[in-house]
């Protein structure tokens, strides 16, 4: 066995990063801004732990990410613990256990870091930040709309421009296909074709449903147009019910958030394994990265729930940069009240730690925009030489 | 092999907890209040990842907690990664690598969760929250005092009463013992005696130093009295230098934070493995739990540094409870602007998700203190029935 060469001490595992100034403060402030929006709408914050027993974390809605989860052994019980790849199963657990007796609708919010294994071939973050809400109890378009509206409000507070909310209704496809008669092989070929948006393959495997499925495939786009197509194609009753619910949700969202950009993809279902109703993916136009996602599902104990998880780290790459505090150099011997007063006004004071020959040179070296001189602020030239 | 019985889904591994409303919001707000104090004094926030290669995380000052650290394998590089039990080694790493070229003094702040293995016999938290600062570059009493003063300001902002800052000077004991002639066995017996504050054993193993050590042992207490004893005992030059530095730091802290409660234990050294100067432990009087700890050490690349790590979770068990947002029930059909205005005023609005027969009953059921009625707030009786 040979020793590994010593690591460069600055090297981090792929997908893990040091967030440096000023991004780290911007990220924390952005996250808390989102949480304040949620709190103002009566969403109570819960904070589950980073690790849980894998049995409780990776069951139910957590099963979908089990393969992406780091595990360690609890030396106490010798049971395996999992490092959470997602907080939503934890919120569902809390709602069904410790908060089972709180009145419904139960509105919960949460924020924290999650860790997933990732794959070496894809350059993805392995530690991500989540900030989200869950609305547990009601199963109505108004509840769906509240979740989307709060997401929109949070992104607006952070100044994110050109946000699009892309809606899907995964059970609609299921209900549609239940109306056809397919062999298992044809059914799975058809699902694969829909997933890839391969119109030729949809025509080939769709049988009697091919014309409808093809039309719905092409209907993906602005919500009104998609709903118009859905309203005039012939659907079996179960699929019609899903379509009506989707239309009601869209109408409620548009009423609540005038001008919101909504799209609908009627036959999209990929990535929504455990969802039972309207789902949403949030994008900034022109960007590939998701800003968030959510949807309707059955929580533990089969309770109706819908939620939205935003990604503050991704959002802040899209949001306009925030103003950092202006730095003021405070020379040795300045009255403490002067510096205190500046901090109250929102400045960051950088205190001299001793007498300096040329305080303004030190102010400049430390990247301060101002220096306190005789109790007043004096600008410092050549600011911004800090690397 | 038999199957384990199914776990109670509410069960978490020992030492891990769900933080519920209203504690989770109080904790997050308290943490951000501390970070705002640090930012106002020019401490720039950095946010290192939860996991690093164990080689980079557990060297230097990180070695002290290596045995308490959970590890997982990075499937990408097949190297071991460690889940951080402490953030301070990460800050030292960042200062010495990515921020090596930033001008000194370098002031950094950080906040986040840490995880340690714990021991089954002791009922301790295994996930803790840290919020701290590091002042890298200078090695002066003024730098030491800034760290303590910022800790005091942070705790004051959170309203924590009766805080005591307990100072120690671990290298003083080392310097003192270097002045005696001890066999290795006697020396370690003497250290053990000092550690346990066993005056009889100190007298037995202390040799010529026994009278001084005994006097210093009994001198532990209010800073002025301890320093008075230190000033009049006879110390070898190296120990006298440490004692003078301690006295200068105490004087600087007292000047900067009038009325601060400082104690000094001159021969305490336990738990300060890598410290090279004044160390501090922060307590709330009458409580056993530490609110924070810090001190002077050599950072990576042997750079002088001092820091303080506060424990927001512990602090908030001692701080006065904060006011939660007042909850207002907003009946179906209320103008959106009315609810928006209430949120701007700091209320949490709880929206009805549909028409209700008796809205005030719903308001009461959901724990709202007020209900909106004809655009105005009306108090709801029997508030607080929420569990």
Of A99, A103, A387, the CB nearest to B101: A387
Residue A299: what pLDDT?
87
Measure the CA–CA gap between A307 and A43, rounded to whole angstroms: 11
Mean pLDDT across A305-313: 97
Measure the CA–CA gap between A362 and A352, rounded to whole angstroms: 8
B362 is in an annotated binding site: no
Of A105, A108, A117, the CB nearest to B75: A117
Of A14, A21, A354, the CB nearest to B45: A21
CA distance A350 to chain B (A): 5
A325 alpha carbon, distance to own chain's centre: 27
Residue B381: what pLDDT?
82
pLDDT band at B1 (very low <50, low <70, confident <90, very high): very low
Nearest residue in A to B47, CA atom: A19
pLDDT digits (tens, 9 = 90+) for A242-289: 999 999 999 999 999 999 999 999 999 877 778 999 999 999 998 888
Is B83 close to A72, i.e. CB distance below 8 A?
yes
User: What is the biggest distance separating any 2 CA atoms in chain B, rounded to whole angstroms?
Assistant: 88
Partners of B65 in the β-ladder: none
Residue A149: what pLDDT?
98
Residue B386: what pLDDT?
47
Query: Both tokens of residue A129?
Result: 């930040």
User: Cis (ω within 30 of 0) for the bond into B362?
Assistant: no
Is B13 close to A40, i.e. CB distance below 8 A?
no
Neighboring chain A residues of B32 at a CB cutoff of 8 Å: 28, 32
Distances in whole angstroms, Cα of residue A353 to Cα of each of A260, A359, B135: 53, 11, 11
> What whole-number percentage of chain A has pLDDT above 90?
82
Measure the CA–CA gap between A292 and A282, rounded to whole angstroms: 5
pLDDT band at A386 (very low <50, low <70, confident <90, very high): very low
Mean pLDDT across B319-326: 91
CA distance B207 to chain A (A): 42
pLDDT band at B353 (very low <50, low <70, confident <90, very high): very high
Distances in whole angstroms, Cα of residue B101 to Cα of each of B9, B59, B109, B136, B137: 50, 22, 17, 12, 12
Measure the CA–CA gap between A137 and B56, rounded to whole angstroms: 47
Mean of the per-residue pLDDT values of chain B: 92
B86 is in an annotated binding site: yes
- Is residue A387 exposed (0-12), middle (13-18) or buried (19+ Cβ within 10 Å)? exposed
For B2-27, give the DSSP string: PPPPPPPTT---TT--PBPTTHHHHH
Residue B5 pLDDT > 70 = no
pLDDT band at A1 (very low <50, low <70, confident <90, very high): very low
Residue A384 pLDDT > 60 = no
Residue B4 pLDDT > 70 = no
Mean of the per-residue pLDDT values of chain A: 92
> What whole-number percentage of chain A has pLDDT above 70?
96
Mean pLDDT across B319-338: 94
Residue A270: what pLDDT?
79
Is B25 close to A39, i.e. CB distance below 8 A?
yes
CA distance A17 to chain B (A): 6
Neighboring chain A residues of B20 at a CB cutoff of 8 Å: 46, 94, 98-99
Of B6, B35, B348, the CB nearest to A28: B35
Cα Rg of chain A, angstroms = 26
pLDDT digits (tens, 9 = 90+) for B134-182: 999 999 999 999 999 999 999 999 999 999 999 999 999 999 998 788 9
Residue B337 pLDDT > 80 = yes
pLDDT band at A385 (very low <50, low <70, confident <90, very high): very low
Residue A159 pLDDT > 70 = yes
CA dihedral B50, B53, B59, B65 (to 10 degrees): 50
Residue B121: what pLDDT?
60
Contacts of residue B349, defined as CB under 8 A and 6 or more positions apart, other chains included, come to A40, A41, A42, B327, B328, B330, B339, B342, B343
pLDDT band at B115 (very low <50, low <70, confident <90, very high): very high
Of A17, A20, A46, the CB nearest to B18: A46
Q: In what order do the strands lie in the sheet with B80-83?
A: B51-53, B80-83, B71-73
Neighboring chain B residues of A9 at a CB cutoff of 8 Å: 56, 59, 93, 96-97, 300
Pick among A42, A50, A138, A254 to test the B interface (most B CBs inside 10 A): A42
Is A127 close to B50, i.e. CB distance below 8 A?
yes
Contacts of residue A186, defined as CB under 8 A and 6 or more positions apart, other chains included, come to A205, A207
Is A50 close to B127, i.e. CB distance below 8 A?
yes
Mean pLDDT across A345-369: 96
Residue B289: what pLDDT?
84
pLDDT digits (tens, 9 = 90+) for B305-319: 999 999 999 999 999
Neighboring chain A residues of B387 at a CB cutoff of 8 Å: 101-102
Residue B75: what pLDDT?
86
pLDDT band at B60 (very low <50, low <70, confident <90, very high): confident
B88 is in an annotated binding site: yes
Which of A168-182, B110-124, B255-269 reaches the highest mean pLDDT?
Answer: B255-269
pLDDT digits (tens, 9 = 90+) for B197-252: 999 999 999 999 999 999 999 999 999 999 999 999 999 999 999 999 999 999 99
Residue A269: what pLDDT?
84
The neighbour count for residue A147, using CB atoms within 10 Å, is 24
Measure the CA–CA gap between B47 and A22, rounded to whole angstroms: 10
């Amino acid at each position: 066995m040979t020793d590994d060469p010593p690591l460069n001490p600055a090297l981090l595992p792929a997908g893990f990063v040091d967030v440096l100034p000023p991004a780290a403060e911007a990220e924390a402030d952005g996250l808390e801004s989102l949480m304040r929006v949620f709190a103002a709408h009566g969403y109570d914050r819960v904070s589950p732990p980073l690790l849980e027993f894998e049995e409780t974390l990776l069951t139910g809605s957590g099963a979908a990410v089990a393969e992406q989860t780091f595990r360690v052994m609890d030396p106490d019980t010798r049971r395996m613990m999992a490092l959470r790849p997602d907080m939503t199963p934890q919120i569902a657990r809390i709602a069904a256990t410790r908060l089972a007796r709180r009145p419904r609708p139960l509105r919960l919010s949460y924020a924290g870091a999650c860790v997933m294994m990732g794959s070496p071939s894809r350059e993805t973050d392995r530690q991500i930040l989540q900030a989200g809400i869950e609305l547990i109890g009601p199963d109505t378009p108004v509840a769906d709309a509240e979740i989307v509206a709060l997401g929109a409000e949070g992104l607006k507070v952070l100044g994110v421009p050109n946000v699009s909310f892309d809606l899907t209704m995964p059970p609609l496809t299921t209900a549609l296909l239940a109306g056809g008669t397919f062999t298992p092989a044809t059914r799975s070929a058809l699902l694969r074709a829909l997933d890839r948006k391969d119109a030729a393959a949809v025509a080939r495997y769709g049988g009697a449903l091919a014309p409808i499925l093809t039309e719905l495939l092409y209907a993906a786009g602005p919500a009104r147009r998609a709903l118009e197509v859905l309203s005039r194609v012939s659907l079996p009753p179960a699929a019609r019910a899903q379509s009506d619910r989707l239309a009601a949700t869209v109408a409620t969202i548009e009423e609540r958030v005038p001008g919101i950009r909504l799209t609908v993809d009627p036959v999209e279902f990929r990535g929504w394994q455990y969802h039972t109703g309207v789902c949403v993916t949030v994008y900034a136009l022109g960007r590939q990265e998701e800003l968030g996602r959510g949807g309707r599902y059955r929580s533990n104990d089969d309770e109706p729930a819908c939620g939205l998880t935003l990604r503050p780290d991704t959002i802040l790459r899209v949001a306009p940069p925030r103003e950092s505090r202006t730095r003021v150099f405070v020379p040795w011997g300045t009255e403490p009240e002067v510096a205190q007063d500046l901090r109250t006004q929102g400045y960051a004071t950088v205190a001299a730690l001793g007498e300096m020959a040329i305080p303004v040179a030190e102010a400049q070296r430390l990247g301060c925009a101002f220096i306190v001189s005789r109790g007043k602020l004096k600008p410092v030239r050549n600011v911004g030489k800090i690397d």
